[in-house]
Amino acid sequence: MLVVWGLRTLVCNVKSGKPIKGEVMIRVGIVGTGIGRLHANGYKKCQDVEIKAFCDIDRERAERCAREYGAKDVYTDYREMMNDDEIDAVSVCTPNALHAPVAIAAFEAGKHVICEKPIATNAEEGKAMVEAAKKAGKIFMMGFNNRFRGDTQLLKKCIEAGELGEIYYAKTGWLRRRGIPGLGGWFTTKSLSGGGPLIDLGVHVLDLTLWLMGNPKPTYVLGSSYAMFGPQLAKEQGGTYDVEDLACGLVKLENGATIFVEASWQSHVERERIYTQLVGTKGGAEFDPLRIYTDVNGNHADIQLQHPNLSGHEMEIVHFVECIRENKTPIATGEHGVHIQLILDAIYKSTETGKGVEIA
């Protein structure tokens, strides 16, 4: 049975791609010009938002972005950018180890912050960021872009309407057959990244799953990680590789539910696969295409839902701007970033000790 549902309102009240108009101009600075470009695309969707500056240690990259997106200023030192009193908000799009220093400098300078995933390289840094945001009284949003896709927004709405009942089990993963990003660079250097595919890809699917389940707090984690390919490849091609290339974990949550998560950059699997499977008392769900599995009058029913094709990357920025304008708490908060990071840290710790890790 195939039932087609229409999309009513989005959970986050984001209008599909329509520019958000405001009375006061919001000026933003973007630090880091890789994924920072996608943030810029999002700001371009918003009316009365000016991208005032780009900052990158690579001046040429920052200048290129400034030309393309019409920004007035270019910086190579983020601390200097924070002295610009006209900048209201900052996108933190640097390698992970810089998330905490850049975000904290922005809060101390009285700016709102959206920070790329993961929140930081460990939960302690993440907690310091949350504290700095509180002290400054500024908005702190995590760039968990998958929460802002058309399909995930719709499923969240269905879950809130009780369509799945109580979700007690979820399985989620992002496995690549081949796909180590920037071999030998910051992604594969633990002091700069905090970890490998778990912190790079696992963070996305874990966040999406926890959010759909209502963000129950993690209580216990058992995990393993392996580095079977990366170190040898780095030896042959140069550079550092001191992170895992596959990790998995079992996460128990305060409400008794369980999540299994897995992530790899390189592994002998058929092909790259990104999945999230939710199992509830009234129904289950998965993506691509978005489907709900349930029973109708004692018969199995597979419901395929129609949804708008929204770019999560752009819509998260539209939401960030909306939160600044309306002084709203974002859908993806710094606290959520810390909860995810506690799980990631615990999977790494569990690997080292060979034991389960309690999360207080």
Ligand X SMILES: NC(=O)c1ccc[n+]([C@@H]2O[C@H](COP(=O)([O-])OP(=O)(O)OC[C@H]3O[C@@H](n4cnc5c(N)ncnc54)[C@H](O)[C@@H]3O)[C@@H](O)[C@H]2O)c1
Q: Which residues bind ligand X (CB under 6 A)?
A: 31-35, 55-58, 61, 78, 93-96, 98, 116-117, 143, 145, 200
Q: Is the dihedral of CA 83, 87, 90, 93 positive or negative?
A: negative
Q: How far is the CB of 289 from ligand X (least distance, A)?
A: 21
Q: Which region holds residue 280: left if phi is over 0, alpha if psi is between -120 and 50, else beta?
A: beta
CB of 145 to ligand X, least distance (A): 5
Q: For residues 219 and 240, which CB has a smaller minimum distance to ligand X in the complex?
A: 240
Tokens of 266: 């390189």
Here the tokens at position 110 are 């009285």
Nearer to ligand X, 209 or 294 (CB): 209
Q: CA–CA separation, 328 vs 108, rounded Å?
A: 20
Which residue shows structure tokens 């874990």? 206
CB closer to ligand X out of 57 and 269: 57
Distance between CA 280 and CA 293 in Å, rounded? 10
**Angstrom distances, CA of residue 321 to CA of 45, 58, 117:** 10, 27, 18
For ligand X, give the closer residue by CB, 57 or 250. Answer: 57
**Token pair of 319 as six digits:** 């939401």
CA distances to 15, 54, 92, 222, 311 from 307, in Å = 13, 34, 30, 36, 12
Give the residue with the Cβ less far from ligand X, 109 or 222: 109
- Residues 28 and 73: their CA atoms lie apart, in Å, by 11
Task: State the nearest-atom distance from the C-beta of 115 to ligand X, in Å.
Answer: 8
Assess contact for 150 and 310: CB atoms under 8 A: yes
Q: In angstroms, what is the minimal distance from the CB of 52 to ligand X?
A: 16
Q: Which of 239, 279, 227 is nearest to 258 (CA)?
A: 279
Residues 77 and 83: their CA atoms lie apart, in Å, by 11
Please report which residue ranges of 238-333 form alpha helices under DSSP H: 312-326
Q: Which is nearer to ligand X, 294 or 333 (CB)?
A: 333
Q: Least CB distance from residue 57 to ligand X, whole Å?
A: 4
Rank residues 128 and 222 by Cβ distance to ligand X and give the closer one: 128
Which position's Cβ is nearest ligand X? 34
DSSP designation for 64 = H
Q: How far is the CB of 55 from ligand X (least distance, A)?
A: 5
Shortest distance, CB of residue 300 to ligand X, whole angstroms? Answer: 35
In the complex with ligand X, the residue whose CB is nearer, 94 or 350, is: 94
Nearest approach in angstroms of CB 246 to ligand X is 18
Phi, psi torsion values for 285, nearest 5 degrees: -155, 150
